[in-house]
Amino acid sequence: MAITPPSVTRSPALTADLEAALAAQGPDYAPRTHLLEPDGKPRYVNRLIREASPYLLQHAHNPVDWHPWGEEAMAAAAGRDCPIFLSVGYATCHWCHVMEEESFDDEEIAAVLNARFVPVKLDREARPDLDQIYITATQLQQGHAGWPNSLWLMPDGTPFHTGTYFPKHQFLQVLAAVADAWDRQRPQIVEVAGRIAEAVRRQGALGGSGAAALEPETFDAAAAHLARMHNRAHGGFSDNQQFPQESFLLFLLDRWRREGDAEALGIARKTLDAIAAGGIHDHAGGGFHRYTVDINWRTPHFEKMLYNQGQLARAFTEGWEATGEPAWRRAAERCFAYVLRDMTDGAGAFFAAEDADSLDAAGRREEGAFYLWPAAEARELLGAEGDWAAATLGLGKPVGEVGPVAHLEPGAAVDFARLDPLLERLRAAREARHRPIRDEKVIAGWNGLMIRALAEAAVAFDRRDLAEAAARAAEAVWSRLWDGTRLARLWAGGAAREAGQLEDHVWMGLACLALAEADAFLAVPGPWAERAEALGATILRDFSDGAGRLRMAAEDGPLGPIYESSDGATPAGESAALELLARLGARGDMAAGAAAQRLVSAVSGPMREIPVLRTEALIGARVLAAGPSVLRRTLAGGTVAARLLRGGAAWELELAIAPGWHVNAPDPGTEGLTGAAIEGAGAAWPEPLSRSLGFAGAPLNVYEGRVRVPLSAPSDSIVLHLQPCSDTLCREPVAARFRLGARETER
């Protein structure tokens, strides 16, 4: 029977409701608490038992009388005239688990929280808009921020005191001090809350300069800043903990393709080599951990987030296209194998994350227990190959305090043909261990990041199976979360939940455009372009603020409209929207193209001041001004798709010409038309078709459908010239430059 938490009085109706919600969890339900009755049932149940978020359910049996975020909690705080204590985290957050076990599952702490505050739990992944408000408040007040994010709020949601993780003894002191100040120093608290609220509003609403475009100096400044940040010894952009910083890598690769900037490519190369080799890479199972706690990428913080998989897979794909480095293609493909094997639901959509913590052999929850490989255990499993594998993977040298993490030496020659079957044996054996908790939310935007990565890699690697997986995931997301006018944020507990955010619509829109390009080459049919256009229309209707900027959420938060001020672990939705709107504009969506121009103007001021804060927006600005730079592109308003295929040192151009259109052959046979040509490489164009078109007055030599053109002796960059025509009109001639410069052997 559900027991009321300490210092709480409940109505019989609420008690009955919570008991029914507990019973509905089913006979296999395992409450996450050490406070259990002799029969194994939880001693306490709170309102979070009615929620679908895995993070909130983790706290459903704390003695803390948690409320989910919402009007009910605010009304309770106003009615009791007490502050809200807000704890923000997510299901796979290690330090959230630590504070849960030390404090939130502690009856002494709970008694104070319940008596003096209205405790509220918020899943940051379900509500990134609210998380943006409160992580910004903590950053501004404390000078640093992270999760768990701990805040004390006025009943209307305005923060007045902030912090992150607190050990139990310190947390008790802070709770007592805040409660005392609420009673004795209310005017000062109101004043502090007002100052924080105003600072948060200013942080998000940074204005622009009104300029219609960014000067080259802005992009140069961003590249120079990243060069100064670059750790030349170990790669990455830090002298301490190492995060992948995927948006930095994608910006540097884009800059190399556009400018031939060798330093930009060198920084990306050093960093991708380090990530592919380091302990941040799960060598046994594929995929990547979120970050490392050391400078040389070897000691990971073991949680695995879907958004890292999608972004890093894209970076490795683009890096492989630039260099032909086989270890990078291998890293991307093993990441896809991990996601499709371990992070995919029955309908094909992708789960959100896997925890850092898992149970060790003794049943204790430890960070990384699932992933560690003591050398003796690996040798016993691998037999005659055990010594070589253990030495190759560095298992004889425990990494930091966590133990033996598999890693390679960056840049070292590795016999992957010999190593990979051994890694598969380690992975299969690892399945007998206790797996980390998997957060099975399906988040629309994070799925968009992964779908885009799969679709783009499918075209780059010429792998239709990856495109099919991307299309299946997109259909699963669309059927569950699109209501005809807007996306929901996520799927959990068998239902769509929370309003979709800007980032959900943007990242799914870019995923749909990637699928449209994949369909042109690999036949994964679907209304991909139409869906991208629908998402673009939703963005302009629901997220535009009327002044050129895009809000994170369609609805205002407690402090007013919510904006992002920079890219973070994922690109800001507003930053990525610039690329989506620019690409939709190039396909003929005039409203999207105009909105992209307004957005550049609205954010250009801050981008000039500190351009490295918005590297994703810098990529979008270049797309708006000059089109994409990647080796896979849609040209001439969607009438032609082009890709450059790398096969070792050989290259091949492929065109996919839309039905009803043709491309004029090198010698069209009629003056005034531009024939297909390639500058900078020999081109073995196939025999064209000869067609009679009324407007031309004579037979024309043309290409239709799919055309493959082997290239010989390509230079660092080539320029493709073509002119697409229908039976009644011709579009303007196209000249598209592709940079191929970095050779497979250049390091």
Q: Strands (DSSP E) along 142-205, which ranges?
A: 149-153, 159-163
Q: What is the pLDDT of residue 535?
A: 98
Domain's final residue, options 416, 438, 460: 438
What angle do the packed helices 326-342 and 444-461 form, to 10 degrees? 140
Cβ atoms < 10 Å from Cβ of 126: 25
Cα(236)–Cα(295) distance, integer angstroms: 9
- CB neighbours of 588 closer than 8 A, spacing ≥ 6? 637, 638
CB 569 within 8 A of CB 128: no
In a domain, 639, yes or no: yes
Whether 502 is in a domain gets the answer no
Please give the tally of structural domains in the chain.
Answer: 3
| Boundary (domain end) residue, out of 438, 467, 490 | 438
Distance of alpha carbon 630 from alpha carbon 321, whole angstroms? 9
Q: Which amino acid is present at 726?
A: S
In a domain, 706, yes or no: yes
CA–CA separation, 741 and 615 (whole Å) = 23
Residue 49 lies in a domain: yes
- Strand partners for 87: 121, 150
Kind of pairing, strands 67-68 and 300-301?
Answer: unpaired
Positions of the chain with pLDDT lower than 70, given as ranges? 1-2, 206-212, 398-402, 693-697, 742-747
Task: Residue 37: give its domain's CATH number.
Answer: 3.40.30.10
Per the structure block, which two tokens stand in for 139? 């950053």
The domain boundary, picked from 167, 186, 204, lies at 204
- pLDDT score recorded for residue 746: 46
β-strands 118-123, 67-68 pairing: parallel
Q: Token pair of 143, please?
A: 């000078």
Question: Does residue 371 fall inside a structural domain?
Answer: yes
Question: Is 443 domain-assigned?
Answer: no
pTM recorded for the entire structure = 0.95
Q: Indicate whether 362 belongs to any domain.
A: yes
* pLDDT score of 149: 97
- Closest to 355 in 3D by CA, of 537, 68, 90, 595: 90
Label residue 101 left, alpha or beta by phi (over 0 means left) and psi (-120 to 50 means alpha): alpha
Other residues' Cβ atoms within 10 Å of the Cβ of residue 429: 15
Q: Which H/E stretch holds residue 366?
A: strand 365-367
The three-state DSSP-derived secondary structure of 598-667 is HHHHHHHHHHHHCHHHHHHHHHHHHHHHHCCCCCEEEEHHHCEEEEEEEECCEEEEEEEECCCCEEECCC
Question: Cα-atom radius of gyration of the chain, to the nearest Å?
Answer: 27
Closest CA to 423 of 366, 478, 381, 369: 381
Distance between CA 683 and CA 713 in Å, rounded?
Answer: 9
Residue range(s) defining the domain that contains residue 367 = 357-438
The pLDDT of residue 550 is: 96
The DSSP H or E segment spanning 335 is: helix 326-342
pLDDT tens digits for range 103-162? 999 999 999 999 999 999 999 999 999 999 999 999 999 999 999 999 999 999 999 999
Tens digits of residue pLDDT in 246-295: 999 999 999 999 999 999 999 999 999 999 999 999 999 999 999 999 99
- 141: in domain: yes
